[in-house]
């Protein structure tokens, strides 16, 4: 692929991810062309460049083997690049990488599509970061696309998608004791974000379904009637607990906000279809409220399984 074709491919990929105008992105990428490169180029460096010497602030026998990367602009462990390639295997060697920042001897942050990664430069390691630009925090679990601070900026459909992915994973973790699925702080984070995103009920219902399954099928799923009853009770306890988490979050928001941000009326109650900072008379219709919540954080909606894209 010629340099011109690579440049155009980089612009189109950035346009697809950000929705920006082609001409503006072309100017921006032209200004930072050296920072955008395909994964194949980084792998080529990894495969061909010799070992480099580096100074470490810890015993050298603990240090990884590194090479001097012109793309990253510093010494990078071979294992770190190979781990990144494994993570991006589905995207293939043509996946476009943008270097967001680099701190020699410490870390580099790269972006591929909407995903952000921390390349650890002191050991063979890659950490996936929150997808909020410039954020250095990792998400609380692999099912989350954002850290707890920026989870509230995700749209309703993105939160539902994360709830489904996390719930299935939680169910597998508790396969030997399905009644122990509930009570997770990670579920609480999703519920708190859903309160702000005016999508508490869809997120809660998705969590319960993914974690426990269909209660109408419990008798078929569990041969032991006592176990089926225990799981049914656990489901109802978790439903009640998630409601309590949501109400506690609303109470916290009301304590900070006190009055409706539209009319100034004192906030004293909560409706799941009403933004917690508005009183019911000032709230838009439920469907519109969810669309507004999604739009306020970057998009009108996100397809199932897709992540949200927050603004910088």
Asked, for residue 123, whether it belongs to a domain, the answer is: yes
Q: State residue 137's pLDDT score.
A: 92
Give Rg (Cα) of the chain: 23
Asked, for residue 4, whether it belongs to a domain, the answer is: no
Contact between 198 and 236 under an 8 Å Cβ cutoff? The reply is no
Q: Produce one character per residue of 32-58: b if its CB has 16 or more CB atoms within 10 Å, e if not.
A: eeebbbbbeebeebbeeeeeeebeeee
Residue carrying the six token digits 């989350």: 144
Asked, for residue 142, whether it belongs to a domain, the answer is: no
Asked, for residue 208, whether it belongs to a domain, the answer is: yes
Count of structural domains within the chain: 2
pLDDT in tens, the chain (312 residues): 555 665 567 667 656 655 666 776 565 555 444 589 999 999 999 999 999 988 888 888 888 999 999 999 999 999 999 999 999 999 999 999 999 988 888 999 999 998 999 999 999 999 999 999 889 898 878 899 999 999 999 999 999 999 999 999 999 999 899 999 999 999 999 999 999 999 999 999 999 999 999 998 888 888 889 999 999 999 999 999 999 999 999 999 999 888 888 888 888 888 888 889 888 888 777 654 455 455 444 443 333 334 443 333
Euclidean distance between CA atoms 54 and 60, whole angstroms: 9
Do 95 and 158 share a domain, yes or no? no
Contact between 260 and 277 under an 8 Å Cβ cutoff? The reply is yes
**Could you tell me the residue range of the domain that residue 273 belongs to?**
151-296
Asked, for residue 138, whether it belongs to a domain, the answer is: no
Do 168 and 253 share a domain, yes or no? yes
């Amino acid at each position: 692929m010629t340099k011109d074709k690579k440049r155009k491919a980089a612009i189109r990929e950035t346009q697809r991810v950000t929705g920006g105008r082609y001409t503006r992105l072309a100017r921006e990428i032209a200004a930072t062309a050296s920072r955008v490169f395909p994964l194949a180029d980084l792998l080529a460096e990894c495969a061909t460049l010799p070992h480099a010497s580096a100074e470490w602030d810890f015993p050298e026998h603990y240090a990884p083997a590194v090479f001097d990367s012109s793309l990253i602009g510093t010494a990078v462990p071979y294992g770190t690049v190979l781990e990144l390639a494994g993570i991006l295997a589905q995207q293939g060697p043509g996946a476009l990488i943008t270097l967001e920042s680099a701190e020699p001897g410490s870390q580099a942050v790269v972006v591929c599509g909407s995903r952000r990664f921390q390349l650890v430069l002191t050991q063979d390691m890659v950490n996936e970061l929150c997808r909020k630009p410039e954020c250095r925090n990792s998400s609380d679990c692999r099912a989350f696309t954002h850290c707890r601070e920026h989870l509230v900026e995700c749209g309703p459909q993105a939160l539902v998608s994360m709830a489904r992915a996390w719930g299935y994973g939680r169910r597998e973790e508790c396969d030997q004791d399905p009644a122990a699925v509930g009570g997770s702080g990670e579920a609480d984070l999703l519920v708190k974000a859903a309160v702000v995103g005016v999508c508490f009920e869809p997120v809660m219902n998705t969590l319960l379904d993914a974690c426990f399954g269909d209660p109408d099928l419990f008798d078929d799923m569990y041969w032991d009637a006592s176990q089926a009853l225990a799981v049914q009770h656990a489901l109802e306890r978790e439903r009640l607990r998630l409601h309590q988490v949501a109400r506690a979050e609303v109470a916290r928001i009301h304590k900070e906000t006190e009055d409706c941000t539209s009319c100034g009326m004192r906030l004293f109650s909560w409706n799941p279809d009403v933004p917690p900072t508005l009183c019911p008379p000032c709230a838009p219709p439920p469907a519109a409220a969810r669309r507004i919540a999604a739009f306020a954080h970057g998009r009108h909606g996100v397809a199932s399984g897709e992540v949200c894209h927050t603004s910088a």
